[in-house]
Chain A
Amino acid sequence: MTHPSDKAELVRLSGVTKRFGGGVPALDAVSGAILGGEITGIVGPDGAGKTTLIRLMTGLMLPDSGTVDVLGFATAKSPAAIQTAIGYMPQRFGLYEDLSVQENLNLYADLRGLPKDERAATFDELLTFTDLKRFTDRLAGKLSGGMKQKLGLACALLKKPRLLLLDEPGVGVDPISRRELWKMVENLTREGIGVVWSTAYLDEAEACDAVLLLNQGKLLFSGKPAEMTARVEGRVFKVSGLSGRKRQILAKLLDKEGIIDGVIQGEAIRVVTGNDAMPQVLSAGYGAAASPAPPRFEDAFVDMLGGGPGGRSRLAEAQQILTAKDNRPVIEAKGLTKTFGDFTAADDITFDIRRGEIFGLLGPNGAGKSTTFKMLCGLLKPTSGEGRVAGFDLRRDTASARNQLGYMAQKFSLYGDLSIGQNLDFFAGVYGLSGQRKRERVALVSEIFDFGRHAGQSSKDLPLGLKQRLALACAVMHEPQALFLDEPTSGVDPITRREFWTHINALVEKGVTVLVTTHFMEEAEYCDRISLIYRGRSIALGSPDELKASVVTKDQPDPTMEDAFIALVERSEAGTKEAP
Chain B
Amino acid sequence: MWWTRLRALIVKELLAVLRDPKGRAILIGPPILQLLIFSYAATLEVRNVDVMILNRDSGHWGQELVERIEGSPTFRRIEIAANPQQVRQAIDNQAIIAAVEISADFSRRIEAGAAVDLQLILDGRRSNASQIVSGYLTQIAGGLAAETPAGKRAAARTVSTIPRNWFNPNLIYQWFMVPNLIASIALLIGLIVTALSIARERELGTFDQLMVSPLRVHEILIGKLVPPMMIGLFHITAYILAAIFIFGLPLRGSLFLLYGSSIFYLASVVGIGLFISALSMTQQQAILGAFLFMVPAMLLSGFATPIENMPEWLQPVTLVNPLRYFLIIVKGVFLKDISLTEVVNQTIPLCLIAMVTLSAAGWLFRRRLE
Contact = CB atoms under 8 A, between A and B. Distances in A.
Interface string B356-370: 000000000000011
B117 interface: no
A573 interface: no
A428 B12 contact: no
A418 B16 contact: yes
Interface string B313-342: 000000000000000000000000000000
Nearest to B210: A430
B208 interface: yes
Interface in B137-160: none
B8 A426 contact: yes
A399 B5 CA distance: 12
A386 B367 CA distance: 18
A402 B212 CA distance: 6
B216 A458 contact: no
B11 A411 contact: no
B143 to A, nearest CB: 64
A429 B4 contact: yes
B4 A433 contact: yes
Nearest to A458: B19
Contact of A379 (B5, B19, B212, B216): B212
B20 interface: yes
A416 B215 CA distance: 20
Contact of A434 (B4, B204, B216): B4
A428 B216 CA distance: 16
A306 B264 CA distance: 62
A83 interface: no
Contacts of B311: none
Nearest to A414: B206
A229 interface: no
Given A407-B209, A429-B11, A431-B213, A417 B20 contact: yes
Nearest to B8: A429
Report which residue of A405, A407, A417, A434 has the largest number of chain B beta carbons within 10 angstroms of its beta carbon.
Answer: A417
B73 interface: no
Contact of A428 (B8, B16, B214): B8
Given A402-B214, A409-B209, A484-B212, A430 B8 contact: yes
Nearest to A380: B369
Contacts of B15: 415, 417-418, 422
Interface in A441-485: 458, 484
B8 A425 contact: yes
B16 A411 contact: no
Contacts of B212: 377-379, 402, 405, 407, 484
A399 B215 CA distance: 7
A170 to B, nearest CB: 22
A413 interface: yes
Contacts of A381: 369-370
Contacts of B370: 380-381
B12 A422 contact: yes
A410 interface: yes
Nearest to A377: B212
Contacts of A398: 216
B216 A399 contact: yes
A442 to B, nearest CB: 12
A431 B209 contact: no
A432 interface: yes
Contacts of B209: 407, 409, 413
Interface string A348-380: 000000000000000000000000001001111
Nearest to A428: B8
A411 B205 contact: yes
B215 A430 contact: yes
A415 B214 contact: no
A491 B333 CA distance: 60
Nearest to A438: B4
B62 to A, nearest CB: 70
A419 B18 CA distance: 12
A193 B204 CA distance: 39
Contacts of A415: 12, 15-16, 204, 206
A403 interface: yes
Contacts of B9: 426, 429-430
Nearest to B220: A430
Contacts of B369: 378-381
Nearest to A404: B214
B218 to A, nearest CB: 12
Contacts of B19: 417-419, 422, 458
A410 B206 CA distance: 10
B244 interface: no
B318 to A, nearest CB: 38
B28 interface: no
B1 interface: yes
B37 interface: no
B313 to A, nearest CB: 38
B216 to A, nearest CB: 6
A431 B1 CA distance: 9
B255 interface: no
B186 to A, nearest CB: 24
Contacts of A378: 211-212, 369
A345 to B, nearest CB: 12
Interface in B204-235: 204-206, 208-216
Given A381-B369, A418-B19, A422-B12, A432 B208 contact: no
Contacts of B1: 432
Given A413-B206, A413-B208, A432-B5, 17 more contacts: A374-B208, A377-B212, A378-B211, A379-B212, A399-B216, A403-B214, A413-B205, A413-B209, A417-B15, A417-B19, A418-B19, A419-B19, A425-B8, A427-B213, A430-B210, A431-B5, A431-B214
16 contacts: A380-B369, A381-B369, A381-B370, A407-B209, A409-B208, A410-B205, A417-B16, A418-B19, A419-B19, A425-B8, A426-B11, A427-B213, A429-B4, A430-B213, A431-B214, A432-B4
Interface of B: 1, 4-5, 7-9, 11-12, 15-16, 19-20, 23, 204-206, 208-216, 369-370
By Cβ-Cβ distance, the 8 closest A-B pairs, closest first, are A429-B8, A413-B205, A417-B19, A426-B12, A407-B212, A434-B4, A417-B20, A413-B206
